[in-house]
Structure 1
Amino acid sequence: MNPLKATMMQAVQGMELQSKRMGISSENISNVDTPGYRRKLLMVSPQQTTGDQFMETRVRLDQSEGVRSFDPEHPMADADGYVTMSNVSLVTELADMREANRSYEANLNSFQQARTMYRSLLDVLRR
């Protein structure tokens, strides 16, 4: 495979991955105050193939418990009157989203650099 094309494909997949991370963080932030909501995590594993796919992603739920608060009038209260809140930390999600955004930009810069090198190579070959 052409090394510049491979670099561009890896950058594209990196941007897709970071977009997924930002989407999951957005969902988590949207549900920070939803009782019983479990934080979603994006799991990434490298994929050893000869094709264009370099990684595999899947979403799983964070198994840590949310904070329990006493509110016997709440519709989701258990028999003892406690409600389990979400296990989402707003600070963690905002930091994760910021990191995903910066990684997206780094992949975009890598793609643009490879594209520029590819165009320069084509210009040299045309002469």
Structure 2
Amino acid sequence: MNEFAKALSISTSGMQAQSTRLRHLSENISNADTPGYRRKTIPFRTEFDAGGGVAKVEVGRMSLDQSELEQVYDPSHPLADDAGFFNGSNVDLLIELADAREAQRSYEANLKMFEQARQMSSSLMQLLRR
């Protein structure tokens, strides 16, 4: 595998990982008001591709955040107990939005790297044709 292909492979794996992260973040944001919803998290790990000789970003198994669920007081809610409380979600919108911005910027950085490697490869091919 040549160096351009390695660069494309690395940046592609980064874009795929951030895309998956953004999907989980959007699910968390959309379910922030769902009673009993637990925030989804995904870890990243480095996976070495022996065939290509590069280390790629891989997404680990999705897990649910086991932190305390918010106790919401609303005696009129159908899920409320005798004291008027029910379990809300453990999604903090501020954290989710900050994580989404970080994932978006990382995705954009990987995209720029991909475009740069593709452009360099194209320029090299044009030089070799002359």
User: Is the shorter-chain TM-score for this pair beyond 0.5, marking a shared fold?
Assistant: yes
- Equivalent positions of 1:46-65 (< 5 A) are 46-51=46-51, 54-57=56-59, 58-65=61-68
Equivalent residue for 2:128? 125
Query: Which among 90, 95, 108 is matched to residue 93 of structure 2?
Result: 90
Q: Does the 8 A contact of 2:17 with 2:58 survive in 1?
A: no
Equivalent residue for 2:7? 7
Equivalent residue for 2:115? 112
Q: CA deviation at 1:21?
A: 1.2
* Structure 2 gap ranges (5+): none
Q: Does the 8 A contact of 2:18 with 2:103 survive in 1?
A: yes
- Tell me, in whole angstroms, the C-alpha distance in 2 between the residues paired with 1:69 and 1:51: 53
Q: Which whole-Å deviations, capped at 9, do the CAs of 1:25-72 have from their partners, x for residues lacking one?
A: 110000111110000001111112324682331211111012112334
Aligned length: 127
State the identity as a percent: 50
Tell me the C-alpha RMSD between the 2 structures.
1.8
AA aligned to 1:110 is M
Q: CA deviation at 1:8?
A: 0.6
AA aligned to 1:50 is A
Q: CA deviation at 1:15?
A: 1.1
AA aligned to 1:114 is A
- Runs (4+) off by over 3 Å: 70-73, 77-81
Moved more, 63-72 or 14-23: 63-72
* Structure 1 gap ranges (5+): none
- Equivalent positions of 1:18-29 (< 5 A) are 18-29=18-29
- Tell me, in whole angstroms, the C-alpha distance in 2 between the residues paired with 1:21 and 1:98: 11
Please tell me whether residue 66 in structure 1 is matched to residue 97 in structure 2: no
